[in-house]
Amino acid sequence: MRLFYERNGSGEPLLFITGFAIPAAVFDPILGDYAARFDCVTYDNRSSGRSSAPLHPTSIAEMAADAAALLERLGMESAHVYGLSMGGMIAQELALRFPERVRSLVLGCTTPGGPRAVRPTVRELLRLGGNMVRGVTKPGRPWLAPAVFSPEFRREEPARVLELLEGFGAHRPTPWGANYHLLASIYHDTVARLPEIQAPTLVMHGERDWMDPVANSLLMAERIPDAELSIVPGAGHAYMLEAPEESLARFTEWLDRKGPVGPGKPRTGVSASLERLTRPLGLPIGAVRTGRSAATYAVDLLSGRRPRGIGDRRSSEAARLLMREDATARSSREPSRAGEASASASATAR
């Protein structure tokens, strides 16, 4: 498998994993900010961009193995891993299958998948579809913009929107490659396995994300043992591009607060020893997991229990409440840092 990759900056290794049929060029506008502190690796997933596009279907598990193999080839025993959208699905699988490769994990605007994940309502999808159709008639044809950027950003920064969209459209995938990514996404389901993630995890989401409801990040933050939720106010699905300074600040503040973090422990047992054998079967195994989740979901509904992650937490009011809590927590940390700085200055003076 031939993967196109680029490496920028110096410091601790940071692996970026991009989303559905999108090349790593989408990171170019903000990569310099991260490269000032990290040794950044970006790459095109198989069946997209400048990487190989095999004529057979792939799976999230197989793409996670590609990421692990890339780190090995670059001589990186482990890295901080930042996955966005479908890249967040790959990052989940990477942390589950290859914990020894992951120091810390950022899951951005993504979902655990399966029947228990929250999806946009029909009304939301119809509104999004209408906005995308209208985008075709606008200068520059920014039809994708409603799916990835907030209405306010599109209205106030139209020129910037067109610049950022160039990365999405660069190095277009083959038709079969896009279909294989879609199939892999459909049969991604980690809900039951999220508690097995060892890495400290930052779950990030844009408040105005119409593609992946914020409730999915709530679900992941609840189930991953060492997870923290951070919602970027006012931003859409591509929060990292729409609010680059805020996104970077939230990530680095969280990472600094965690302190030096090392990789997880390698898996042991039968499942670990069979990883190479089960990897090509990622798609059918994913279908079985999804079917099993659907069965338990149906039992919950028939018994009158509301499945976890579904319901009132999808509301914008819940997102606003979480942002208020997040702002309070962030502000409460500021005095302590200021106190530490004062103490350090006093010690230096003495």
200 and 343 both lie in a single domain? no
Residue finishing a domain among 258, 282, 302: 258
pLDDT band at residue 333 using 50, 70 and 90 as cut-offs:
low
Is 279 a domain residue? no
101 and 18 both lie in a single domain? yes
Domain count, the chain: 2
70 and 219 both lie in a single domain? yes
User: Which pLDDT score, from 0 to 100, does residue 349 have?
Assistant: 31
> Is the per-residue pLDDT at 331 higher than 90?
no
Residues 315-328 have pLDDT tens digits of 445 555 555 556 55
* CB environment 39-65: b (16+ within 10 A), e (fewer): bbbbbbbbbbbbbebeeebbbbbbbbb
d(CA 240, CA 109): 10
Q: Which of 30, 43, 148 is nearest to 94 (CA)?
A: 43
Residue finishing a domain among 209, 227, 258: 258
Q: Which two tokens stand for residue 10?
A: 């110096």
pLDDT band at residue 332 using 50, 70 and 90 as cut-offs:
low
246 and 333 both lie in a single domain? no
pLDDT band at residue 264 using 50, 70 and 90 as cut-offs:
very high
Q: Which residue has the higher pLDDT, 319 or 6?
A: 6
212 and 340 both lie in a single domain? no
Q: Which domain holds residue 142?
A: 5-258
3-state secondary structure 193-225: HHHHCCCCEEEEEECCCCCCCHHHHHHHHHHCC
> Is the per-residue pLDDT at 310 higher than 50?
no
Instruction: Give the chain's mean pLDDT.
Output: 85
d(CA 244, CA 253): 14
> Is the per-residue pLDDT at 311 higher than 60?
no
| CATH, residue 33 | 3.40.50.1820
Is 271 a domain residue? no
Predicted model pTM: 0.85
Angle at 96 between CA 89 and CA 291, to 5 degrees: 65
213 and 333 both lie in a single domain? no
Is 251 a domain residue? yes
Residue finishing a domain among 258, 283, 307: 258
Residues 124-166 have pLDDT tens digits of 667 767 766 676 666 666 778 989 999 999 999 999 999 999 9
> Is the per-residue pLDDT at 174 higher than 70?
yes
Q: Is 266 helix (H, G, I), strand (E, B) or coil?
A: coil
CA atoms within 13 A on the CB side of 350: 5
Residues 30-54 have pLDDT tens digits of 999 999 999 999 999 999 999 999 9
- Phi, psi dihedral angles at 192 (to 5 degrees): -70, -20
Residues 205-230 have pLDDT tens digits of 999 998 889 999 999 999 999 999 99
User: Which pLDDT score, from 0 to 100, does residue 195 have?
Assistant: 97
72 and 167 both lie in a single domain? yes
User: Which pLDDT score, from 0 to 100, does residue 309 have?
Assistant: 46
